[in-house]
Amino acid sequence: MQRIFKNFTFNPKDDILSGLTVALALVPEAVAFAFVAGIDPLVGLYGAFMMGIVTALFGGRPGMISGATGAMAVVMVHMIQKGNEVGDALATPIDNLGLQWLFITLLFVGAIQITAGIFKLGKFVRLIPHPVMMGFVNGLAIVIFLSQLGLFPKTGTKDISIWSQTGEWFSTIFSNGALWMMLAFVGLTMAIMYFLPKITKKVPAALTAIVVVAAIVIFGKLDMSTVGSFIRDGGGTGLEGGLPTFQFQIFGLLDTLEGHWGLIVSTAFILAAVGLIESLMTLNLIDEMTETRGSGNRECVAQGSANILNGLFGGMGGCAMIGQSIINVNSGGRGRLSGAVAAVALLCFILFAAPLIEQIPIAALVGVMFMVVIGTFAWSSFRILHKIPLADAFVLIAVSAITVWKDLAVAVIAGVIMSALVFAWKNATMIRARKRIKEDGTKVYEIWGPLFFGSIQNFNSKFDVKNDPDIVEIDFIESRVNDHSGIEALRSIANKYLDAGKQVKLTHLSPECKALLLKANPKFEQVIATAVDDPRYHVVTDLLDTEV
486 in the same domain as 356? no
Whether 108 maps to a domain, the answer reads yes
Confidence (pTM): 0.75
Does any domain span residue 452? yes
Asked whether residue 546 is assigned to any structural domain, the reply reads: no
Q: How many CB atoms lie within 10 A of CB 12?
A: 13
Mean pLDDT by runs of 10 across the 548 residues of the chain is 65 92 88 82 94 95 91 86 93 92 97 95 80 87 83 57 47 68 94 91 84 93 88 78 93 92 93 89 88 91 97 95 89 92 94 90 88 85 89 93 82 90 86 92 93 91 93 90 87 91 90 80 82 66 41
pLDDT tens for residues 517-547? 788 778 778 888 887 566 766 676 544 443 3
Give how many domains the chain has, as a whole number.
3
Is residue 305 in a domain? Answer: yes
In a domain, 88, yes or no: yes
Query: How close are the terminal C-alpha atoms of the chain, in Å?
Result: 58
Asked whether residue 548 is assigned to any structural domain, the reply reads: no
Interatomic CA distance for residues 362 and 150, integer angstroms: 11
Q: In what order do the strands lie in the sheet with 443-451?
A: 432-437, 443-451, 471-481, 503-507
Nearest 5°: the CA angle 151, 152, 153 is 120
Largest Cα separation within the chain, whole Å, is 100
Distance of CA 283 to the CA centre of its chain: 9
Specify whether 412 is located in the same domain as 436: no
Residue 547 lies in a domain: no
Task: Encode pLDDT of 54-97 as tens digits.
Answer: 999 999 999 999 999 877 887 898 899 999 999 999 988 999 99
d(CA 352, CA 465): 84
- Domain of 475, CATH number, reads 3.30.750.24
161 in any annotated domain: no
Q: Which domain holds residue 188?
A: 12-152+177-382
Contact 84, 98 (CB under 8 A): yes
In terms of domains, do 187 and 329 share one?
A: yes
404 and 447 fall within a common domain: no
Domain match, 332 and 391 both: no
Could you tell me if 267 and 390 lie in one domain? Answer: no
